[in-house]
Amino acid sequence: MSKIRMNTELRNKLFGKIKNVFENEDTQEREDYLQARENVDKEYKSTFELARQVVERSYPPEDVATLRTFKKKYGDPCDVVAKDKCFYFAHNEGVDDEGEKTETKSHFDFGLFGNLNGTEYNSDEGRKFAYAYLREDLKALDLNPDILAQQDKNENNPHKTKHVDLNDKALGKTSSTRYSNDSDSNGMTKTFDDQFNLDVIGTSYCRSRAIACTQDEYKIFLTWRSAKGQVVAKHQTWIDSIVKQCDQLKIGLRAYRYLSEGIELATELGIEVEESELIRSNSTGLTIYNPSNLASMIKGMKNNRPLTVAEKIQQREAYNKAN
């Protein structure tokens, strides 16, 4: 049989098949991301229960019920109770350089697109969490939940904007305002957000009057928000490892003249192919992109972790013996 020459269509098919394996194989980076997502679920549950206690200390349920009764009787002038999922929590247990008590305050948003930095304004950080947290749901809709991680160092561009808009629409984020609160949300965003609504008394956005908490309670809120940040960070690390692999994969596939070289690479990477689809042949002669060499290079771009002290000592001892 004659060799099948590589072309753009074949390269794209091979690339897609191999990339899919990269995204689904068990690696340390992927496991860290999944573990961070499991951890944030636990943090959400316990921290929101604390938030309920803190909010109800300031706005007792019986007061909320009374004001709702007044609203029914007197109308809009008494419309001062609303559901909210974001709160300003503050404590006064810190001291400045002169020993004077200081207020420590931050904005905590329990919503799907809630901030990770304590500001009530929208940012891509909230989106990064939403996309990473509901990654499988977006993938099932044939969307790209990894777009922000893939474009992490890039400015806004049409490709990025297109996928962000599609993801936001699929998740039900409808607000175009600069605020993280999205009262008009629907679908998955609304389903998520509705779990974390509490009755708050006030008339301004996010009921911006700070709700008092203790310093220890404040630290718990910070820990929960940090757990959200870990989902984003671990997702970013995992996607970075995939992007690096895919970048090398693209270069290698462009260097191959025949389909058999690409199939050989897939085989070296442990990806099964039907024998009827390939005719084995030699590489193009570019040593670094020899299928075996390229497979080894790509494999080395995942399961990376910092060496332990013991491993560093072991490496140093081995180096000293060799020299």
pLDDT at 284: 39
* Distance, CA of 195 to CA of 93 (rounded, Å): 31
pLDDT at 288: 44
pLDDT at 281: 33
pTM score: 0.81
Cβ–Cβ < 8 Å for 120, 126: no
pLDDT at 271: 87
* Distance, CA of 89 to CA of 148 (rounded, Å): 30
Cβ–Cβ < 8 Å for 180, 109: yes
Q: Could you say which DSSP state residue 232 is in?
A: H
pLDDT at 312: 58
pLDDT at 34: 98
For the chain, 323 residues long, give each residue's pLDDT as a single digit of tens: 567 888 888 888 889 889 989 999 999 999 999 999 999 999 999 999 999 999 999 999 999 999 999 999 999 989 999 999 999 999 998 877 777 889 999 999 999 999 999 887 767 899 999 999 999 999 999 999 999 999 998 888 999 999 999 999 999 998 654 445 555 678 999 999 999 999 999 876 555 679 999 999 999 999 999 999 999 999 999 999 999 999 999 999 999 998 888 888 998 998 876 645 533 333 333 344 567 767 777 777 777 766 665 665 566 566 556 65
Query: Which of 284, 259, 296 is closest to 17 using CA atoms?
Result: 259
pLDDT at 273: 67
Tokens 């995992």 appear where? 238
- Return the number of other C-beta atoms located less than 10 Å from residue 80's C-beta: 16
The CA-based diameter of the chain, rounded to the nearest angstrom, is: 89
pLDDT at 309: 58
pLDDT at 279: 36
* Distance, CA of 196 to CA of 13 (rounded, Å): 43
